[in-house]
Amino acid sequence: MTEAAFWKRVAVLGSALTGTLLCDFADFHEAAEDLLERPVLTHEFANKQLMADLKEKALEALKAHKSAGWEGASDADGGADND
């Protein structure tokens, strides 16, 4: 994973977790569809249940990244070990 892709992923997951947009909306929308595994219409982002489901999925994705040793994070610092 490139440094740009790593930080983009951090921004979209952070957006889903906080409810504050930290990235381009298009990137967030794409990530929401990937996390929820279904198309999401723009107006659905106003739905509290959808946002709660998205937050849960984002937290699961964040935990998966952490348990995988932040795979890709080593690319973000030029390939150095992150131990």
What tens digit of pLDDT does each residue of 45-62 get? Answer: 999 999 999 999 999 998
Place of tokens 């298009």: 26
Confirm whether 10 is domain-assigned: yes
Number of domains in the chain: 1
Confirm whether 76 is domain-assigned: no
Report helix angle 3-18 to 25-36, nearest 10: 80
Which domain covers residue 44, as residue numbers?
3-71
Residues 26-47, mean pLDDT to the nearest whole number: 96
Q: What are phi and psi of 80, to 5 degrees?
A: -70, 150
Q: What is the pLDDT of residue 70?
A: 59
Assign 3-state DSSP to the chain and report helix, strand, coil percentages, each to 5.
70, 0, 30
Confirm whether 82 is domain-assigned: no
Q: What is the pLDDT of residue 79?
A: 44
Confirm whether 18 is domain-assigned: yes
Confirm whether 22 is domain-assigned: yes
Confirm whether 63 is domain-assigned: yes
Confirm whether 24 is domain-assigned: yes
CB 49 within 8 A of CB 7: no
